[in-house]
Amino acid sequence: MDLRHWLEAAVTSHEDWAGGFGQFPPHPSLGVDDARFAAAFETFAERLKDNYPFFHPRYAGQMLKPPHPAAVVGYLTAMLINPNNHALDGGPATAQMEREAVQQLATMFGYDTHLGHLTTSGTLANLEALFVARELHPRDGIAFSTEAHYTHGRMCRVLGVAGHPVPVDDDGRMDLDALENLLRTERIGTVVLTAGTTALGAVEPLHEALALRERYGVRIHVDAAYGGFFTLLAGADGPEGLPKAPWRAISECDSIVVDPHKHGLQPYGCGAVLFRDPSVGHFYLHDSPYTYFTSEELHLGEISLECSRAGAAAAALWLTFQLLPPTPDGLGQALAAGRRAAIHWAQLIEESEHLELYQAPELDIVSYFPVTEPRTLSRLDEASGRILQAGMADTDDPVFLSTLRIGADRLTTRHPKLTADTDGARVLRSVLMKPESEGYVEHLHRRLEQLARA
């Protein structure tokens, strides 16, 4: 799709609608002449160049990429109206779009019933899930693995509940024996499992944890902020297919968080929280005199901790889902390409003399490190840092990576040839979340081999 054409169509469509309300003179206090705007815009555009090329496959670092053009056009068109999805009368159209898009997310996870809404972020969405968890188990703590997102510990403090980190196994997934020992203390009301950890994309054993829920009467919350859309690859044919069990188990869990602003092609400002039992909505009750009702239906502001939220975010997600729905044949195809890219690169790294794979990718995150001489952690850390910098500094053929710090124990258990002379080291990490990475990993690999040899 031609972005330039559709951006113009956005303005035209807005003018068509707005024109129906009659002309009025714009107030001079807000007037800006084109020459002044041109000057400010030039400076602005220049300053924005201080950025990394998130759109390009040579950017293989953090979880960053631009939104799909359909999301950009959807967001912009709705933003010209600027609806507020805190209530139905803040923008009836985008409130309805939010309901429909959230329904599509619920269907994707296999929820038969749900209560849910969009949030401004995964962190806020997790806060909502943990808030409901605390209301249901006010005296009990919340368990999450040491690989869980760091904001879970922070949000437990916000909520005034005890957070209990649980150790992980060698693959970076919650150790269920350790969890069960903790559950036996009867101090835990809710367990958070991560479907796709932020660091390495590890999928925690949700299906096995479900048995513990019955035994110990806890809630299970799934943090699928990063990995959620990978459920579209569960049981798929081909190398990109993922084991079904943990993904199918999500439909049995009590709440789910997914970030459309990560793998859902959306701009920032789009997380989502879903509850399996719609009756948890009563925990949000308020009687604000400002939020009035124009509908009998439960409105979105009634089931959200946040008040103002961009209706444009819902519009962007809705429009994107019209074209690339959250189904295996829709958005699933984009995730499959990134997953195949990760598998292919991991294979190349395993065959390399200059690079070593840190952990086999479960989703689309590849972790690796340069082979150094001597094979000490201090040398490894220094080499990873050097490659990160040298990759970005090369003006002819730059590559943009990220690093991840791993403790000495984990590194040396996993890679016994490494000698621990410090308490940890950085390894390299590439999130291949753009489908275009599939056609680019051989180039990335050659560049990485050159950088590792240098």
List residues near ligand PLP by CB under 6 A: 121-123, 126, 149, 151, 194, 198, 223, 225-226, 259, 271
Inter-residue contact 233 to 244 (CB < 8 Å): no
Cα separation of 388 and 383, whole Å? 9
Q: Residue 244 Cβ, how far from ligand PLP at the closest point, in Å?
A: 21
Q: Would you say 147 or 302 has its CB closer to ligand PLP?
A: 147
Hey, what are 252's tokens? 């049995």
Cα separation of 434 and 341, whole Å? 9
- Of 172, 196, 194, 192, residue with least CA distance to 182: 192
3-state secondary structure of 300: helix
Inter-residue contact 229 to 242 (CB < 8 Å): no
Q: Residue 147 Cβ, how far from ligand PLP at the closest point, in Å?
A: 9
Q: Would you say 125 or 377 has its CB closer to ligand PLP?
A: 125
Q: Residue 123 Cβ, how far from ligand PLP at the closest point, in Å?
A: 3
Q: Would you say 255 or 372 has its CB closer to ligand PLP?
A: 255
Q: Would you say 226 or 440 has its CB closer to ligand PLP?
A: 226
Q: What is the Cα Rg of the chain in Å?
A: 24
β-bridge partners, 393: none
Q: Residue 148 Cβ, how far from ligand PLP at the closest point, in Å?
A: 7
- Of 150, 137, 146, 153, residue with least CA distance to 172: 146
Q: Which residue has the tokens 């958005």?
A: 331
Q: Residue 264 Cβ, how far from ligand PLP at the closest point, in Å?
A: 11
Q: Would you say 171 or 421 has its CB closer to ligand PLP?
A: 171
Q: Would you say 123 or 190 has its CB closer to ligand PLP?
A: 123
Cα separation of 301 and 87, whole Å? 5
Q: Would you say 77 or 151 has its CB closer to ligand PLP?
A: 151
Inter-residue contact 234 to 243 (CB < 8 Å): yes
Q: Would you say 123 or 437 has its CB closer to ligand PLP?
A: 123
Q: Would you say 94 or 198 has its CB closer to ligand PLP?
A: 198
Helix axes 331-350, 441-453, angle to 10 degrees: 30
Q: Residue 397 Cβ, how far from ligand PLP at the closest point, in Å?
A: 30
Cα separation of 135 and 273, whole Å? 16
Q: Residue 268 Cβ, how far from ligand PLP at the closest point, in Å?
A: 8
Residue with smallest beta-carbon separation from ligand PLP: 122
User: C-alpha angle 285/291/297, rounded to 5°?
Assistant: 65
Q: Residue 113 Cβ, how far from ligand PLP at the closest point, in Å?
A: 24
Helix axes 3-19, 69-79, angle to 10 degrees: 20
Q: Residue 282 Cβ, how far from ligand PLP at the closest point, in Å?
A: 26
Amino acid at 108: M
Q: Which residue has the tokens 């806020």?
A: 124
Hey, what are 15's tokens? 């003018």
